[in-house]
Amino acid sequence: MIQLRKLFTPVESMDAEEARNYLASHAEDAYTLLDVRQPWEYEEEHIPGATLMPLPSLNDQYRTLDPEKPTLVHCAIGGRSRVAAQFLSGLGFKEVYNLAGGIKAYQGQKASGPRELNLDLIRGDESPREVAVLAYAMEKGLQTFHETVAARSKDADLAALCRQLAHYEELHEEKLTAFYRQLEPSGKDLPALTAEREPEMMEGGFKPQEFLKENADQMQTLAGMLELALMLETQALDLYLRFAQKLSHAQAKEVLYTLAQEEKGHLARLAKLWEEKAAESSGQ
């Protein structure tokens, strides 16, 4: 049971816009984003990378959190998270914020699915080399997906968007290749390791051919493809961060945190493009 005397410690709040700006401007490993809702709520939607720790279990699990890192706590509308934030602050956590209005007020991109989704793809003790190979294969999978949609499209604007999205993935692949060469200077590089097989998985944990088939109709329009791209990048960000939480090797974690920062940039560019296209279609 949460100790009552810990519940009267004052804590600061962030509104939704302040929280979104904070998350966008800080490195992923520099803070803790804590979700104190129930698992079923998390599965419906959650902020990418959030650590799920339901309020009833907080007293038993808070020791797994780093009290030296800033902690941003949220729930559905802000009530449970205020209780959790006051509790953590009373325990001596250095910097604790409550997200006012909770996830309902948060306007950033949200992921979906249970906390364990696709975590079976890693053991948790992977080396930086193994993580680089896995991440490269997933980036390559999404690049191939975007290239396939571009090749099939009869809409010039849609094809151009997909080629741009594919280029984003190529940039990730180049960074992963350079990192891998530092680890294996005399061995095969990443492109050679993956060139002999079709990508089995793409960013976010989706299977390329299944995803193409299931979303064929939505990929016929620019607006539909933008919506899918935003979803894919959000799920990718979330999966990379959940992978990082499970990994034990510090350098392997860093590989994924670096990719997560890149995904944030992709999301920001896609969101801006989405807003521009929405304005054009409404005649503004």
* 33 phi, psi to nearest 5 deg: -105, 110
With H, G, I as helix, E, B as strand and everything else as coil, classify residue 104: helix
Q: Do 133 and 243 have their domain in common?
A: yes
284/268 Cα distance (integer angstroms): 21
pLDDT of residue 279: 76
CB 92 within 8 A of CB 65: no
Q: Which residues are catalytic?
A: 75
Residue 187: predicted pLDDT: 75
Structural domain contains residue 113: no
- Same-domain check for residues 196 and 85: no
Residue 63's pLDDT is: 96
Q: Mean pLDDT of residues grouped by 10 in the chain (284 residues)?
A: 55 94 92 97 97 95 96 97 93 94 94 94 94 92 90 87 91 92 83 72 88 89 87 93 95 93 87 80 63
Q: Same structural domain for residues 142 and 257?
A: yes
Q: What is the DSSP letter of 196?
A: T
User: Tokens 């607006």 sit at which residue?
Assistant: 223
Amino acid present at 147: E
The 10 Å CB-count burial string (b at 16+, else e) for 77-103 is ebebbbbbbbbbbbbebebbbbbbbbb
- Same-domain check for residues 176 and 57: no
232 shares a domain with 131: yes
Could you tell me the CATH number of the domain that includes residue 146? 1.20.1260.10
pLDDT in the model for residue 222: 84
Q: pTM value?
A: 0.89
Same domain, 88 and 134: no
Secondary structure element (H or E) that encloses residue 248, with its range = none
Q: By residue range, what is the domain housing residue 159?
A: 120-281
**Would 263 be classed as within a structural domain?**
yes
Q: Is 148 exposed, middle or buried (0-12, 13-18, 19+ CB in 10 A)?
A: middle
State the pLDDT at residue 176.
93
Q: Check which CATH number belongs to the domain holding 28 and give it.
A: 3.40.250.10
Model pLDDT, residue 104: 97
Query: Domain check: are 127 and 11 in the same one?
Result: no
Which pLDDT belongs to residue 7? 52
